[in-house]
Structure 1
Amino acid sequence: MPFCIIILVLLTIGLIMMFSASYPVAYYSLGNSYYYLVRQLIFAAIGVACMFGVSIFNYNKLHRIVPLIMGISYLALIIVLIVPSGEAGVHRWIPLGPFNIQPSEIAKFSTILFFAHWCSKHYDKMQLPKFSVLPGITVFGTTAMLLFLEPHYSGIVIIAMLTVLMLYIGGMKTRYLAIGGIILGAVVIVLAMTGGLTYAMSRMDGWGQSLEYTTEDMWQTTWQTRNSLYAIGSGGLWGLGLGQSRQKFLYLPEPQNDFIFAIVVEELGLVGAVLILLIFALLVWRGITLSLRSKDNFGKLLGIGLTSQIGLQVILNILVITDWLPNTGISLPFFSYGGSSLIMLLAQMGLVLSVSRTANIEKQ
C-alpha cells in the first residue's frame, strides 16, 4: 500500500506540474490551454487501470510469454523505421489514430523482462560467458542497432545501463562487464571517427556552454538548455509560486516534455524540487525493498529492474536540464507529457505490486 500511495502521489504532482508547464504553449500553438492536460489525464486513467489490473496478475506467468513480448518489441522497432520520419528526420513514434506509440518504451520493458527471465532460469550458470556475455551482446546489440537507425541515442544509453544492471545483479562476473564496456567504448570511437554518430555529435554541440555567448550559432544551439538554467536559477529557494513560471511562456521550448523539471524548480524552488526528488528516491527504495522479499529470483530481478529504470531516468533527466549531460531527450517519469511512457511506467509499477502481493501471500 505505501508503494502504491507513493506512485499515486507522484502521478498527481506530475499531472499538476505538467498542466502548469504546458498551458501557455498549448494555447499559443493549438488554441486550447487544456490540450495536453486532457490527453495526459486519459493516459493516466488508462495507466492506473493497467497498474491495478497487472497488480493482481501472477508475474510468474510472464515466463511463458517472454519470446512474444520480445517479438513485439523488435517488430515495433522495425515498423517505426518504415513509417514517415518526424522532426529532423528521426523515427521515434508509430502513429495510431489520435495517439502515437514509442517503441523504445516497449524495448526498455522487454529488456528488463528478458534478463530477469534468463538470469533466474540460469542463475547457477551466470558465471559462464555462454550464459551471460552471449545473451547480453545478442539482446542489447540487436536492440541498440535498431535504436541507432531511428536514431534514438538516449534510448540506447538507458537500455545499456539496464542491461549492465540486470546482468550484474543476475550473477555475471564483473570482469566481463568491464570487457564489454571497453568493447562498447571502442565501437563508439570508431563510429564517431567514421561519421556514424553525426546526429549524436550535433546534440553535443554547446554542451557545457549554455551561458557562454560566443557566437550567434552557439546562442541558438544552447537556447533550450540556457533557458532551462534561467528557470532553475530564478526559482531560488522557495520558487516563484505554482503557475508563476516565466520561462514556460515560449522561452523554454517544449516545457511539458523533457525539460519540465526546470519549470518545477522555477515554480516550487529548491525546497519543492528536493522534496519531489526525495519522493522519487523513496519510490525506488521501497520498490527494491519489496522486490527483495520475493520468493523467487525472477520476482527479485524483475522488480529491481523495473524500479531502477525510474531511478536511472530521473538522474539522467536532472543531469540534462542542468547541462551536466548533452540534451539527449530523456523524459522525467510521471511528469513529462507522453502516453507511451506514462502507461508503460504505470503498468510496470503494477508488476512490482504483483511481486509484493505474491510475497505477502507467501509470507502469510
Structure 2
Amino acid sequence: MKQKTKTFDFLLMISPLLLAGFGVVMVYSASMVTSVIVREDPAYSLALRQAMYLLIGLAFFLFASYFKYTLYLKLTKWIVLLMFISLIWVELFGDTLNNAKSWVAIGPFSVQPAEFVKIGLIIYLAAIYTKKLNYIDDFFKAVIPPLIITSALTALIIKQPDVGTAAIVFAIACTVIFSSGIKFKHLSLLILTGLIVLSAVGFHMASDERISRFTGAYHPFEDIAGDGYQLIQSYIAIGTGGLSGVGIGQGIQKLGYLTQAESDFIMAVIAEELGLFGVLFVLVNLSIIVIRGLFIAKKCENPFGTLLAIGISSMVGIQAVVNLGAISGLLPITGVPLPFVSAGGSSLVMLLFSVGILNNIARHVNYQRFNEETTETEETKLEDTRATGRLRRNYSS
C-alpha cells in the first residue's frame, strides 16, 4: 500500500480537482442572475449541470489514471477513426449554437467533439512520431503523412466554423512535432505554411462579426457601445476587483453587462469578486499542472510518454493563454474556455481525462524511481551486512 501511495503525483491530482470544484462555485456566482432572468431557470441550473459534468469528468480522470498509457499505442487507429466520425457526424447532424455547428445532442447532454479531438490528436501524434524517431529528419517520410491527418481534422473544425479551436489544435500539433526532434527548418516551414493557410481560410470566412473581434480587441474605445463593449466590461470587472475583490456573489458586471460571464469571461468575474488573490489561485494551479507535466515528460524514459505529457501540458497552457489573452485585450475573442474553470461540460471532461493520462504517466515514472531507490537501499544494506560479517570474522581471528 505504501508503495502504491508513493507512485501518485498528488500535485497533479489536487490542482485540477481544486480548479474544477472552484469552477462550479464561480459558474454559480456568474450565472445565478442571468439563469433566472434570461433563461427563466433556477439560479443553480448551470452550476448543477457543471457539477454533473465534474462527476463524469472525475470518473474519466480515475479511469485514465489507472489505464496504462502505453496501451493507447494499440488504439491509435481506432482513435483516429473515432475523431473523423465524430466531426463528420457534427457536420451532418450537429446543433448550431452561437453561429457554430459544433454540438451533438446525446440524451440530455450536449457534447462538443472538437474538444475531444484535442486529446485524440495528441495521442495520435505522440504514437506516430514515436514510431518515426529513427528517421525523423526525413521531412516527406516522417513529417508529412501525420500532417495530412492533422490538416484534415483541422479543416473539419474550421468548417463548423470554430477557428479558435482549430488554431489551438494547430499549436498543440506544432508543439508535439517540435518535441519529437524535427529539424528547426522543417518546423519553421510547417508553421509558416500553417499560418498562411489559417490566414487564407480566415480571410475567406471573414464576416463582420469575426472582423469585429479584432477591432474590439485592439481598438475597443473606438466603439464603446459596439465592437469594444465586451472587452471594456471585462476591463471594468478586472479593475474593480483590486486586491481582494468585492466578495463572491457580489459582482456587478455579471448582471447583464458582461455577456458569457460564466464561460469565456469567467476570469473577469473572478477578478471582480475575489480580486488578485482569486486570479493568483487560478494561475498558480494552472502553472502547477503545466510545469509538473513538463517535469514528468523530462523524467519519462518512454518516448511515447514524453510526447504525450508534453502534448497535454501544452494543451492546458495554450488554452489558458488564449483565454486570458482574450479577456485582457492581448488576443481577439475566440470563445476558448478557461481550463477546468469555465462552464462547459465537454471541455471539463476532456481536460480531466487528459490530466488523468498525465497522472498515469507520472505513476509509472514514480514507480520506476521508487523501485530503483528500493533496490539501491537493499544493495546498500546487503553490502553493510557483508562488511559487518567480515569485521566480526577478522575480530574473532
- Structure 2 distance, partners of 1:42, 1:294, is 34
Q: What do you get for the CA RMSD once the two structures are aligned?
A: 1.8
Asked whether the equivalents of residues 237 and 253 of structure 2 are also in contact (C-alpha less than 8 Å), the reply is yes
Residue of structure 1 in register with 2:390 after alignment: none
Residue 267 (structure 2) aligned to one of 240, 261, 267 = 261
Tell whether 2:167 aligns with 1:161.
no
Corresponding residue for residue 52 of structure 1? 62
Q: What does 1:250-289 align with in structure 2 at a 5 Å threshold?
A: 250-289=256-295
Are the equivalent residues in 2 in contact too, given 1:313–1:333 (CA < 8 A)?
yes
Q: What SS class does the counterpart of residue 207 from structure 1 fall into?
A: helix
Summarize the Cα distance change of 1:188–1:162 in structure 2 as closer, same or farther, 3 Å threshold.
closer
Q: Determine if the alignment matches structure 1 residue 316 to structure 2 residue 322.
A: yes
**Deviation (angstroms), 1:136:** 4.2
In the TM superposition, residue 7 of structure 1 has moved relative to its aligned partner by: 1.8
Match of 1:204 among 190, 193, 214: 214
Contact kept in structure 1, 2:312 and 2:358, CA below 8 Å: yes
In the alignment, what sits opposite 1:22?
Answer: 31
CA distance in 2, matches of 1:307, 1:25: 34
Distance in 2 between residues matched to 1:341 and 1:320, nearest whole Å: 18
Shift of 1:175: 0.7
CA distance in 2, matches of 1:22, 1:116: 39
Aligned: 1:346 with 2:352: yes
Q: SS at the partner of 2:105?
A: strand
Structure 2: stretches of 5+ with no match in the other structure: 1-9, 372-397
1 CA distance for matches of 2:238 and 2:221? 13
Hey, what does 1:236 align to over in structure 2?
A: 242
Separation in 1, partners of 2:339, 2:196: 31
Seen in structure 2, the aligned counterparts of structure 1 residues 17 and 179 have a Cα distance that, compared at 3 Å, is: same
Residues 153 and 200 in structure 1, CA contact (< 8 A), matched pair in contact too: no
The structure 2 residue matched to 1:9, chosen from 8, 18, 41, is 18
Matches of 1:135 and 1:74, distance apart in 2: 16
In structure 2, relative to structure 1, the CA distance for the partners of 1:297 and 1:41 (3 Å cut) is: same
Which residue number corresponds to residue 249 of structure 1? 255
**CA, structure 1 residues 42+221, in 2 after alignment: closer, same or farther (shift >3 Å)?**
same
Spell out, residue by residue over 1:239-286, the C-alpha distance to the aligned partner (whole angstroms, 9 max, x if none). Answer: 111111100111111211111000001111123212321221112111
Contact 1:15 1:40 in 2 (8 A): yes
Match runs of 1:45-84 below 5 Å: 45-83=55-93
Shift of 1:359: 1.7
Residue 85 of structure 1 deviates from its aligned partner by 4.6
2:139 to 112, 124, 129: 129
Larger Rg: 2
Q: Tell me by how many angstroms 1:90 deviates.
A: 1.9
Q: Distance in 2 between matches of 1:30 and 1:23?
A: 11
2:111 maps to 101
How many Å apart are 1:2 and its aligned residue? 2.3
Q: Percent identity?
A: 29
Shift of 1:357: 1.1
Distance (Å, rounded) in 1 between the aligned partners of 2:211 and 2:142: 32
> Shift of residue 91 of structure 1?
0.6
TM-score by length of 1: 0.93
In 1, are the aligned partners of 2:213 and 2:332 still within 8 Å (CA)?
yes
Q: Normalising to structure 2: TM-score of the pair?
A: 0.86
Cα separation, 1, equivalents of 2:13 and 2:273: 27
CA shift, 1:224, in A, is: 2.0
Compared CA separation, residues 221 and 107, structure 1 to 2 (3 A): same
Using the alignment, how far apart are the partners of 1:169 and 1:247 within structure 2?
42
Is the CA contact 1:238–1:270 (under 8 Å) kept in the aligned structure 2? Answer: yes
